Amino acid sequence: MTRTKLVLLVTIFTILLAIFGGLYWWFNREEFGSNHSPAGEYWGLKAVIQTEVDNYVDNQGELPKGAASPIGTYNVTGVGTCYIIDVCQISTPQGGIPPQRVPDGFAKIDGDGNDNFDDPACNLIPSSSGQHYVWVVNEEGYVYSVCDENSDGTIGPNELTDGLIDAIWP
Protein backbone atom coordinates (compact mmCIF):
# COMPACT_ATOMS: atom_id res chain seq x y z
CA MET A 1 0.00 0.00 0.00
CA THR A 2 1.37 3.37 -0.95
CA ARG A 3 1.60 6.21 1.49
CA THR A 4 -1.08 8.15 -0.47
CA LYS A 5 -3.52 5.25 -0.25
CA LEU A 6 -2.91 4.95 3.49
CA VAL A 7 -3.57 8.67 4.03
CA LEU A 8 -6.73 8.38 1.92
CA LEU A 9 -7.90 5.37 3.93
CA VAL A 10 -7.30 7.11 7.26
CA THR A 11 -9.12 10.22 6.00
CA ILE A 12 -12.14 8.20 4.88
CA PHE A 13 -12.17 6.32 8.18
CA THR A 14 -12.05 9.61 10.12
CA ILE A 15 -14.90 11.08 8.08
CA LEU A 16 -17.03 7.96 8.60
CA LEU A 17 -16.33 8.09 12.33
CA ALA A 18 -17.48 11.72 12.42
CA ILE A 19 -20.63 10.89 10.47
CA PHE A 20 -21.55 7.94 12.71
CA GLY A 21 -20.74 10.01 15.79
CA GLY A 22 -23.06 12.72 14.53
CA LEU A 23 -25.81 10.22 13.77
CA TYR A 24 -25.43 8.64 17.21
CA TRP A 25 -25.77 12.06 18.82
CA TRP A 26 -28.76 12.91 16.60
CA PHE A 27 -30.71 9.78 17.48
CA ASN A 28 -29.89 10.00 21.18
CA ARG A 29 -30.35 13.73 21.63
CA GLU A 30 -33.78 13.29 23.26
CA GLU A 31 -32.24 10.98 25.82
CA PHE A 32 -29.38 13.39 26.48
CA GLY A 33 -31.88 16.21 26.84
CA SER A 34 -34.29 14.25 29.03
CA ASN A 35 -33.89 16.73 31.87
CA HIS A 36 -35.92 19.11 29.74
CA SER A 37 -38.98 16.87 29.89
CA PRO A 38 -41.76 18.11 32.20
CA ALA A 39 -40.84 15.43 34.73
CA GLY A 40 -37.14 16.31 34.54
CA GLU A 41 -37.88 20.00 35.00
CA TYR A 42 -40.32 19.42 37.86
CA TRP A 43 -38.06 17.07 39.83
CA GLY A 44 -35.02 19.19 39.07
CA LEU A 45 -36.66 22.29 40.48
CA LYS A 46 -38.04 20.38 43.45
CA ALA A 47 -34.54 19.16 44.30
CA VAL A 48 -33.17 22.72 44.07
CA ILE A 49 -35.92 24.05 46.33
CA GLN A 50 -35.38 21.23 48.84
CA THR A 51 -31.65 22.03 48.96
CA GLU A 52 -32.34 25.73 49.47
CA VAL A 53 -34.91 25.01 52.17
CA ASP A 54 -32.39 22.74 53.92
CA ASN A 55 -29.76 25.49 53.71
CA TYR A 56 -32.17 28.07 55.06
CA VAL A 57 -33.19 25.86 57.98
CA ASP A 58 -29.51 25.13 58.75
CA ASN A 59 -28.59 28.82 58.66
CA GLN A 60 -31.68 30.40 60.19
CA GLY A 61 -33.07 27.66 62.39
CA GLU A 62 -36.58 28.07 60.99
CA LEU A 63 -38.60 27.33 57.88
CA PRO A 64 -38.56 29.87 54.97
CA LYS A 65 -42.25 30.63 55.35
CA GLY A 66 -42.20 34.43 55.31
CA ALA A 67 -40.03 37.23 56.69
CA ALA A 68 -42.32 38.72 59.34
CA SER A 69 -45.15 36.20 59.46
CA PRO A 70 -46.12 33.03 57.60
CA ILE A 71 -47.41 33.74 54.08
CA GLY A 72 -50.08 31.09 54.34
CA THR A 73 -50.71 27.36 54.34
CA TYR A 74 -52.08 24.64 52.10
CA ASN A 75 -53.39 21.31 53.28
CA VAL A 76 -51.58 18.96 50.89
CA THR A 77 -53.41 15.70 50.29
CA GLY A 78 -51.85 12.87 52.29
CA VAL A 79 -49.29 15.21 53.87
CA GLY A 80 -51.24 17.70 55.95
CA THR A 81 -50.63 21.35 56.69
CA CYS A 82 -47.73 22.88 54.78
CA TYR A 83 -46.37 26.41 54.78
CA ILE A 84 -46.04 28.41 51.57
CA ILE A 85 -42.33 28.93 50.88
CA ASP A 86 -41.12 32.53 50.59
CA VAL A 87 -39.22 32.52 47.28
CA CYS A 88 -37.06 35.42 48.51
CA GLN A 89 -35.92 33.49 51.56
CA ILE A 90 -34.63 30.62 49.42
CA SER A 91 -33.07 33.02 46.90
CA THR A 92 -30.77 35.05 49.14
CA PRO A 93 -28.27 35.00 50.67
CA GLN A 94 -27.81 31.26 50.04
CA GLY A 95 -27.92 31.98 46.34
CA GLY A 96 -29.18 28.73 44.85
CA ILE A 97 -31.88 30.61 42.99
CA PRO A 98 -30.36 33.88 41.71
CA PRO A 99 -32.26 37.00 42.79
CA GLN A 100 -34.52 38.46 40.09
CA ARG A 101 -34.30 35.23 38.13
CA VAL A 102 -36.99 32.99 39.50
CA PRO A 103 -37.03 29.83 37.39
CA ASP A 104 -40.09 28.42 35.63
CA GLY A 105 -42.48 26.52 37.85
CA PHE A 106 -43.49 29.19 40.38
CA ALA A 107 -47.09 30.33 39.97
CA LYS A 108 -48.42 33.72 40.96
CA ILE A 109 -52.01 33.56 42.18
CA ASP A 110 -54.27 36.61 42.49
CA GLY A 111 -54.84 37.69 46.09
CA ASP A 112 -52.74 37.49 49.25
CA GLY A 113 -51.40 34.52 51.15
CA ASN A 114 -51.64 31.96 48.35
CA ASP A 115 -48.33 31.83 46.44
CA ASN A 116 -44.54 31.98 46.85
CA PHE A 117 -44.42 35.70 45.99
CA ASP A 118 -46.89 36.91 48.62
CA ASP A 119 -44.45 37.90 51.36
CA PRO A 120 -44.79 41.73 51.50
CA ALA A 121 -41.01 41.90 51.98
CA CYS A 122 -40.37 39.98 48.74
CA ASN A 123 -40.10 41.80 45.43
CA LEU A 124 -39.39 38.86 43.16
CA ILE A 125 -41.74 38.15 40.28
CA PRO A 126 -42.48 34.91 38.41
CA SER A 127 -40.61 34.09 35.21
CA SER A 128 -43.87 34.53 33.27
CA SER A 129 -47.61 34.33 33.75
CA GLY A 130 -49.42 31.02 33.39
CA GLN A 131 -47.22 29.03 35.77
CA HIS A 132 -48.91 26.21 37.71
CA TYR A 133 -47.05 25.29 40.89
CA VAL A 134 -46.92 26.73 44.40
CA TRP A 135 -44.18 25.25 46.60
CA VAL A 136 -44.75 24.46 50.24
CA VAL A 137 -42.88 22.87 53.14
CA ASN A 138 -44.19 20.84 56.03
CA GLU A 139 -43.16 21.22 59.66
CA GLU A 140 -40.41 18.60 59.17
CA GLY A 141 -38.88 20.58 56.31
CA TYR A 142 -39.97 18.42 53.38
CA VAL A 143 -40.91 20.25 50.17
CA TYR A 144 -44.16 19.56 48.33
CA SER A 145 -46.16 21.36 45.67
CA VAL A 146 -49.75 22.12 44.83
CA CYS A 147 -50.84 22.75 41.25
CA ASP A 148 -53.29 25.06 39.52
CA GLU A 149 -54.09 22.19 37.20
CA ASN A 150 -57.11 23.79 35.51
CA SER A 151 -55.36 27.17 35.06
CA ASP A 152 -58.18 29.14 36.69
CA GLY A 153 -55.78 31.18 38.85
CA THR A 154 -56.63 29.49 42.14
CA ILE A 155 -55.56 26.36 43.99
CA GLY A 156 -58.86 24.54 44.40
CA PRO A 157 -59.71 21.65 46.76
CA ASN A 158 -58.89 19.12 44.03
CA GLU A 159 -55.51 20.69 43.28
CA LEU A 160 -53.80 20.06 46.60
CA THR A 161 -51.85 17.04 45.34
CA ASP A 162 -48.06 16.90 45.45
CA GLY A 163 -46.04 16.00 42.35
CA LEU A 164 -46.02 16.67 38.63
CA ILE A 165 -49.71 16.75 37.68
CA ASP A 166 -50.72 15.40 34.25
CA ALA A 167 -47.31 16.37 32.85
CA ILE A 168 -48.28 20.03 33.26
CA TRP A 169 -45.20 22.24 33.17
CA PRO A 170 -44.29 24.89 34.09
What does the binding site for Ca ion look like in residue numbers (CB under 5 A)? Answer: 109, 114-115, 118, 148, 150, 152, 154, 156
**Closer CB to Ca ion, 94 or 160, in the complex:** 160
If you write DSSP's letter for every residue of 84-144 in order, what string do you get?
A: EP-TTTTTTTT-SS-TT-PPTT----SSSSSSTT--TT-----SSSS--EEEEEETTS-EE
Closest distance of CB 155 from Ca ion, Å: 6
Closest distance of CB 133 from Ca ion, Å: 11
**Closer CB to Ca ion, 21 or 111, in the complex:** 111
**Closer CB to Ca ion, 94 or 164, in the complex:** 164
- What lies within 8 Å, CB to CB, of 148 at 6+ separation is 107, 109, 132, 133, 134, 154, 155, 159
Closest distance of CB 114 from Ca ion, Å: 5
Residue count (the chain): 170
Closest distance of CB 109 from Ca ion, Å: 5
**Closer CB to Ca ion, 57 or 168, in the complex:** 168
